[in-house]
Amino acid sequence: MKMCLVIDANQAGDFCKQEKPHLKCLLGWINSGGRVVSAGELERELFRVNAMRTLALEWSRRGNLIKLNAQEVTARKNQIAPMCRSNDAHVVAVTIVGRADVVVTSDKLLIQDLKDTAIVGSRRKIYKENSASPGRVDRHAKLLRSLDCPN
């Protein structure tokens, strides 16, 4: 079973502010049954933003947040870290272990890692703001609908 989506910590502050249309679309999807995976180091980074901690606790109670085995994620991180360009091997590891298809990030080096099939096996989709048309969310809504998750 695919778990769906990972939120990188570099998006936590903007996600909680809910000022960007693509992030409003994402919150609506999660609140409608979409699922997010997290574990260990990534979760600690996300929880530095108090509003994200509150959201994550709510999602956890509702079953929208799937917490992975931190030891399994750390083992995978240690295995792939030498191949990663970014300093986010822990995010890549959560993506692999959680079998997430989509990662919410704007980190260019992390995006390169997520598209490198030697690291992740199969390329992951990136959920980020459309810089050419920042208010448009049709691509984002379509991407979320395509995920293999209950929603």
Name all domains of the chain by residue range, CATH numbers in brackets.
4-145 (3.40.50.1010)
131 burial class (0-12, 13-18, 19+ CB within 10 angstroms)? exposed
Give 70-126 pLDDT, tens digit per residue.
Answer: 999 999 999 999 999 999 999 999 999 999 989 999 999 999 999 999 999 988 988
Percent of the chain residues topping a pLDDT of 70? 89
Classify burial at 53, counting beta carbons within 10 Å of its beta carbon; exposed 0-12, middle 13-18, buried 19 or more: middle
Amino acid at 150: P
**Interval 39-50 mean pLDDT:** 94
CA angle 103, 107, 123 (to 5 degrees): 45
Contact between 129 and 136 under an 8 Å Cβ cutoff? The reply is: no
Q: For residue 80, what are the contacts with CB-CB under 8 A and spacing of at least 6?
A: 89, 92, 93, 96, 119
pLDDT for position 48: 92
Among 105, 99, 97, CA closest to 128: 105
Give me 103's structure tokens.
Answer: 């990662």
Write phi, then psi, for 128 (nearest 5 degrees).
-145, 165
Phi (first) and psi of residue 127, to 5 degrees: -105, 105
Question: Whole-prediction pTM value?
Answer: 0.88
Count CB-CB contacts under 10 A for residue 63. 10
